[in-house]
Amino acid sequence: MSDKKIITVFGATGNQGGSVVQTFLHDAKLKDEWSVRGVTRDVSKDSSKKLAAQGVDVVSADLNDKASIVEALKGSYAVFAVTNYWEKMDDKLEVQQGKNLADAAKEANVKFLIWSSLYNVHKLSKGALPHVYHFDSKATVEEYIRELGIPAAFFMPGFYMSNLPGGSFRKSPEHDDNTWTLGLPFPGSTQIPVYHPGDTGKYVKAMVLNQDAVRGQRFLAATAYATADELVADFQQAFPAQTARYAEVPKDAFFAALTQGPAGLPEFAAVELYENMRLMSDFGYYGGDSLDWTHGLIEDPLTTWRQFVETASAFAGLK
């Protein structure tokens, strides 16, 4: 055990981090070379205990306390670092947490930092979309990591497939039970880089196995670019007894759904999500960058949208 390299995974009980943990625990190419340390705020919760039972070294750290992060990183060769903007919806806090992680990684002499990042939308859109805080905050941390000179690469998650079922993709209330509508505030021809968070470990595996190639690079994490119309067509093929359509949602209706519906988001967050949608239609989620380089380094099959809809709980029982 002692001769294994340690990968320390933040958000070990969450979507991205949880996938990384499972891959490094079970993958044939990784499990004998790596041991997994999982960082969580509360080591006593059930999800943390489950990881410990699988052989994960579960430790506690607070992203607001750099000293606790340094302690969690001791002896780590690699680190997968992720923050959660949506917990507090405070971009300044997320930037500070990311900088704490970066400073701690440098202090702990980490050999390979993987930062879960996103593009700077303010720059990408030349100021047209100034409110996509959860992208820009991560991009700010990425710039800081580059300035520090830490050996690092940047994991760039695409659009979560799981954002759609039961949310923007739901039964149409004005039709019968078998009619479904995907509604988003952009044309149906808009390219969406669909990403399954359960695949995160596959991407991080490729990054770790190709450190020289990916160091300093952005690793775009999406199965494919698919239009909204194509997502509807795949759903229709998966469930031929259903009827599905795409409808472009007017801006006002999109805002109302976010601020008045079950989500009950504050107005600034609705503006942020609307601009996030406009990013895809007007500038490209990744600024039009190709997925080919990433896909050339990945060994494991990525989850397709069609595979995802067949297992999504919101679509359970459909034919």
Structural domain boundaries in the chain? 5-158+196-222+290-300
Write the DSSP assignment of 200-262 as a string of letters. HHHHHHHHHHTHHHHTT-EEEE-SEEEEHHHHHHHHHHH-TTSEEEEEEPPHHHHHHHHHHST
Rg (CA), the chain: 20
Look at residue 132 in the predicted model and tell me its pLDDT.
98
Domain 5-158+196-222+290-300, CATH? 3.40.50.720
Look at residue 1 in the predicted model and tell me its pLDDT.
47
Question: In angstroms, rounded to a whole number, what is the distance separating the alpha carbons of residues 230 and 234?
Answer: 6
Tokens of 237: 């093929």
Sheet holding 224-227, edge to edge: 159-160, 191-195, 224-227
Query: Which residues, including other chains, have CB under 8 Å from residue 93's CB and lie 6 or more apart?
Result: 64
E strand spans, the chain: 5-10, 34-40, 57-60, 78-81, 112-116, 152-157, 159-160, 169-171, 179-184, 191-195, 218-221, 224-227, 243-248
pLDDT, averaged in runs of 10, over the chain (319 residues) = 88 94 98 96 92 96 97 98 95 98 98 98 98 98 97 98 93 78 97 98 98 98 98 96 95 92 86 97 97 98 97 92
Question: In angstroms, rounded to a whole number, what is the distance separating the alpha carbons of residues 72 and 66?
Answer: 10
Q: How many CB atoms lie within 10 A of CB 228?
A: 25
In this structure, which amino acid lies at residue 183?
Answer: G
Closest among 72, 83, 91 to 14, alpha carbons compared: 83
How many H-runs (helices) and E-runs (strands) does the chain carry? 14, 13
Question: In angstroms, rounded to a whole number, what is the distance separating the alpha carbons of residues 216 and 231?
Answer: 33
Question: In angstroms, rounded to a whole number, what is the distance separating the alpha carbons of residues 300 and 62?
Answer: 33
Look at residue 178 in the predicted model and tell me its pLDDT.
85
- Residue 35, Ramachandran bin (φ over 0: left; ψ between -120 and 50: alpha; else beta): beta
Look at residue 213 in the predicted model and tell me its pLDDT.
98
Look at residue 174 in the predicted model and tell me its pLDDT.
67
Look at residue 172 in the predicted model and tell me its pLDDT.
79
Is 276 strand, coil or helix? Answer: helix
Is 100 strand, coil or helix? Answer: helix
The model carries a pTM of 0.95
β-strand partners of 227: 191
